[in-house]
A and B are shown apart, each in its own frame.
Chain A
Amino acid sequence: MSIAYPKPDIPGTTLFDGEQAMKGFALNKMCFSFNDAANRETFLKDEDAYCARFGLTSPQREAIRNRNVLELIAAGGNVYYLAKFAGIFKLDVQDLGAQQTGMTKDEFKAKLVAAGR
């Protein structure tokens, strides 16, 4: 379902609006559950069963399997919840930034330092 209202076109940016929130509900709900350490362990023990329990769509399941942030966002993921998924693998927001921009982490960090000059 799409919602009829003007959507801003900001390059490289997906605003997490009602449409994304509906699309991503199951995925974000699973990621929200990762606030709890026991749930993080359960996920690691049996990823398939954990994803099935939350009723992920097949693009969401695939994006989780691929550990791919851009795919997760396209499937309705919100970065605040996705960060909790990334945390399971000890990945921080600079790892996520590097992956999304196709840079190494060092290149991504250097780009941030350069923004201050």
Chain B
Amino acid sequence: MAKIVGVVTTSHVPSIGGAIARHQEQDPYWKPFFDGFIPVREWLKDVKPDVAVVIYNDHGLNFFLDKMPTFAVGAAPAYRNADEGWGIPTVPPFAGDPALSWHLIEGLVRAEFDPTTCQDMLVDHAFTLPMALLWPDQNWPVRTVPVCINTVQHPLPSAARCLKFGRALGRAIDDYDQDLRVLVVGTGGLSHQLDGKRAGHINKEFDQKFMASLLADPDWATRYSIAELVAEVGTQGIELLMWLAARGTLAGPVRALTSTYHIPISNTAGGIMLMAA
């Protein structure tokens, strides 16, 4: 049977790609964030996952406003990155795992989630940069399943809905009748706001409560409406929904194997957590 070996959650801001391209990982500005991945990579060498299920939000590479799914699951044999318009280098393509994708889609629909299914799907920086942080040589040792949650256009799915989605996804992974080691990745956040007069908004106190809640009480964030969450963490900080869904895939108590929080990376409070049962 398939087993979730752990959950990694991380920020995914595009400037991480710029820092990688310019080899600035050890610059004082970037070091506190990039160093957070050292223990994660050590752990990956031990657990050797076969597949990464990556929960992220597209920023206008694969999806446009003509058709905007709330939840979407990739079911392609391979996924490509492409030019997003502002010039970070693209990364090599990722192998898919269509059999697992369709199993997850079956499980989600049975659990009354109805994702859009994508047999042709570009993956943007929110998918590629976390992968490049986990495997800097970009010689991907895992097959992948992209799982996309809309944070572009409101209404967004509630925190409660995203947590339930993650739990349904986790059950579907656990039910998979293949001997697979599965890593779940949740990307985005933490607090930041790019748009409006409140651009630059960051909320350290809320972020830290949120990170602690993923361990002690994952339902904590579900007390907040989307509007309340945006007020706390910013229009893009709402990407914490990806962390919540990813955390939901692990049933029962979890512990943090490593955790990093650093302000700022670009306009964003950078966060990394590695959680396992």
Contacts and interface: CB of A to CB of B under 8 A. Distances in A.
A93 B85 contact: no
B200 A10 contact: no
A96 B194 contact: yes
Nearest to A77: B195
Interface in A60-106: 69-70, 73, 78-88, 90, 92-94, 96-97, 100-101
Interface residues of A, number: 50
B197 A100 contact: yes
Contact of A17 (B14, B154, B204): B154
Given A13-B230, A35-B83, A35-B85, A97 B267 contact: yes
Given A35-B60, A35-B83, A112-B263, A97 B200 contact: yes
A82 to B, nearest CB: 8
Q: How would you classify the secondary structure of chain A's contact residues: helix, strand, loop or mixed?
A: helix
A12 B85 contact: no
Contact of A73 (B15, B196, B201, B266): B196
A31 to B, nearest CB: 8
B65 A101 contact: no
B59 A80 contact: yes
A19 to B, nearest CB: 10
B227 A8 contact: yes
Given A18-B154, A116-B263, A34 B204 contact: no
A74 to B, nearest CB: 10
Nearest to A10: B231
Nearest to B195: A79
A29 B64 CA distance: 8
B83 A93 contact: no
B91 interface: no
Contacts of A85: 85
B27 to A, nearest CB: 14
A112 B153 contact: no
Contact of B65 (A13, A21, A100): A21
B2 interface: no
B60 A80 contact: yes
A4 interface: no
A15 B228 CA distance: 12
A79 to B, nearest CB: 4
Given A21-B65, A37-B83, A113-B264, A13 B193 contact: yes
A54 interface: no
B199 interface: yes
B153 A94 contact: no
A11 B87 CA distance: 32
Nearest to A112: B264
14 contacts: A11-B198, A17-B155, A18-B155, A35-B61, A35-B83, A69-B195, A79-B194, A82-B195, A83-B86, A84-B60, A92-B266, A93-B266, A96-B195, A100-B195
Interface of B: 14-15, 59-61, 64-66, 82-87, 152-155, 193-202, 204, 227-228, 230-231, 235-236, 262-264, 266-267, 269
Please name the 5 residue pairs, one residue from A and one from B, whose CB atoms are nearest each other, closest first: A116-B263, A87-B86, A12-B198, A84-B85, A8-B227
